[in-house]
Chains A and B, each alone.
Chain A
Amino acid sequence: GAVVSQHPSWVICKSGTSVKIECRSLDFQATTMFWYRQFPKQSLMLMATSNEGSKATYEQGVEKDKFLINHASLTLSTLTVTSAHPEDSSFYICSARRSGSPYETQYFGPGTRLLVL
């Protein structure tokens, strides 16, 4: 099966600090990775689509200068929440799609819980 890992799984930080979350596809190459955010009892909301070697495409309302995405290799994408504030506290989940058909399923990482104090 396709395995996607995320690190760290939990982050607690002070307001104003930056937090970096890594998403790795462990046993397949992923030309496209996706970053989602989920608030309690809410649905997953797509934040951005990350393609290897190019700039990420951000969804409307998501600040690209605040949520920096880097997809430097076919197995790694990173999301950096810059100057995090309490309202950024959420469950951040990445997913990865195998190289190939755009209609392939996405495989999700286990998520990162961010709590900003």
Chain B
Amino acid sequence: RKEVEQDPGPFNVPEGATVAFNCTYSNSASQSFFWYRQDCRKEPKLLMSVYSSGNEDGRFTAQLNRASQYISLLIRDSKLSDSATYLCVVNTGRDDKIIFGKGTRLHILP
């Protein structure tokens, strides 16, 4: 099992719809979790950290399920500008290393 796995997509979603995707991680000792967004030919940018209690930032909601070892990202009322690749990032707590998922591509359709 890969350390961090994501569905590569692409997810083609009409504007205004709600979309959700998950990311699974293999190391149960993982300490912290993040969602990053990467636009084409740009660097990743932090979207949000994922807290144990779940957290929300505007249209974005992130949740952590330690029992099943996955994190999720929900985007409500999707905008065209949400089109990007969403990277799941896990700090494994081992050797201070973070692992990136391969990313999920999201296309918001007008």
Contacts and interface: CB of A to CB of B under 8 A. Distances in A.
Contact of A46 (B42, B46, B97): B97
Interface in A37-54: 42-44, 46, 49
Contact of A111 (B43, B91, B101): B43
Contact of B87 (A44, A49, A105, A109): A44
Nearest to A2: B46
A102 interface: yes
Chain B interface size range: 10 to 19
A102 B34 contact: no
A106 B45 CA distance: 9
B52 interface: no
Interface in A56-111: 91, 93, 102-103, 105-111
A92 to B, nearest CB: 10
B100 A102 contact: no
B100 A43 contact: yes
Interface residues of A, number: 18
B96 interface: yes
Given A43-B103, A44-B87, A106 B42 contact: no
B34 A110 contact: no
24 contacts: A32-B96, A34-B98, A43-B87, A43-B101, A43-B102, A44-B87, A44-B100, A46-B97, A46-B98, A46-B100, A49-B96, A93-B44, A102-B96, A103-B91, A105-B34, A105-B46, A105-B49, A107-B46, A108-B43, A108-B44, A108-B45, A109-B43, A110-B43, A111-B43
Interface of A: 32, 34, 42-44, 46, 49, 91, 93, 102-103, 105-111
